Amino acid sequence: MSKDPSQTTVTEIQRRVAAQWEPISTFFRELCAIPSMAGQIEAVGKRMAQEMESLGYDEVRFDKMGNIMGRIGSGPRVIVYDTHIDTVGIADPDAWKWDPFQGKIEDGVLFARGAGDEKGSAPGMVYGLALARDLGLLDGFTCYVFGNMEEDCDGIAPNTFVEIDPQVRPDFVVIGEPTRMKVYRGHKGRVEMKVVAKGRSAHAASNHLGDNAIYKLLPVIAAIRDMEPQLGDDPFLGHGKITVSDIRAQTASLNAVPDEATIFIDRRVTFGESRDEAIEQVRRLIPAANQAAGDIKVDMLFYDIPSYTGFVYPVDKYYPAWALDENHALVQAGQAARTALGLPAAPTGKWDFSTNGTYWMGKANIPSIGFGPGDETTAHTVNDSNRLDDVVKATEFYALLPALL
């Protein structure tokens, strides 16, 4: 069970956070104003480093991959606050009614790319740990704020944290993805795969001489569209999902029969569904004649794109489902922190999307929870946003939590 924080401690945390409302919210707006798409986080990482250095962190540096980390303390127990500071792109610029980086503030909400997903947790984590140190709440802990790349490949940054640099295995992890200020404790996993069909090129005027690779994929696409009811289900994580997310063709010209076509699949896996099973389910959708001919194949995707530092960490694009038990001490501490800070009572929850928890808990089995301001439904949209009061209020949670473990 978690400890019971004194009211004096809670009151002092809240008083100090309230006094820092302006610098915390300004820091947040400045992080959002720095573009950090496609893993290009050096500039925003430097801004984050500047803030941590000004707050007296014991160590601030970039790792080999190019993630930024700040450390406070050197105790035997290790807690990592994970905040990804890269974002997706802005897609169609004309769809934005305001500058996506400078954003706009309306009714106390900042609308900007990355405001909700996920730069909203970074200010509270950075200021929260410094405040916890100042109040003597970090005895026995080594604490990290880990500002990392996540959008292109969930979990690759924490994988390097544990296995490459700094080679530290945390005892606890708090993931700052948006949770609407609730404690989350899991989400479905994901398998990314492709289905490639081979055909034969010919001039479109003589298409009977060719073998159209796109047409070969049509029955597979239709079967994927209809297969979701057959997928697994779990009382907590929910039902499996499958989506054809992209299609590409190789063709000699717009007047030719395509000789190769590829569809890409996002398969969300729940408990009870394995990576191999998910791939085999799609493989079974290939018509028998194509299986015999071997002209349609299914493969899992692979990630080996260099980071902006040139660092490469090749991994399969498989991200396990995970959930931390509701009775775990970390979950209980998170719930106790919310109660102590006066947040409305709420059951623990889960994300619909995927986070770095796919590595922390899914692969490494390191106890992890989520807590962050914002709502994931605005992620990757032109309404990417966060309430300024919640961004500041989250600082209280991040400051108090270690004292409850």
Cα gap 361→60, rounded to integer Å = 25
Q: Quickly tell me which residue has 């770095």 as its tokens.
A: 356
**Separation in Å, CA 248 to CA 82, 198, 222, 338:** 35, 12, 16, 47
166: preceding bond cis by omega (within 30 degrees): yes
Write down the residue that tokens 């994580």 correspond to.
237
> How remote is the C-alpha of 383 from its chain's centroid?
18
The catalytic residue among 150, 211, 273, 375 is 150
Q: Which of 51, 82, 86, 375 is catalytic?
A: 86
Active site (annotated) includes residue 228 = no
Measure the N-to-C terminal CA separation of the chain; round to a whole number of Å.
8
Residue 53, Cβ neighbours under 10 Å: how many?
12
Q: How far apart are CA 335 and CA 366, in angstroms?
A: 19
Amino acid at 61: R
Cα angle 8-141-78, degrees, rounded to a multiple of 5? 130
Which DSSP state fits 203? B
150 is catalytic: yes
DSSP assignment string, 139-196: TTEEEEEEEE--SSSTTHHHHHHHHTSS----SEEEE-S--TTS-EEEE-EEEEEEEE
Structure tokens at 375: 């709502």
The answer to whether residues 110 and 122 touch, using CB atoms and an 8 Å cutoff, is no
Question: 191: alpha, beta or left, given left = phi > 0 and alpha = psi -120 to 50?
Answer: beta
Distance of CA 48 to the CA centre of its chain: 19
Which are the catalytic amino acids?
86, 150
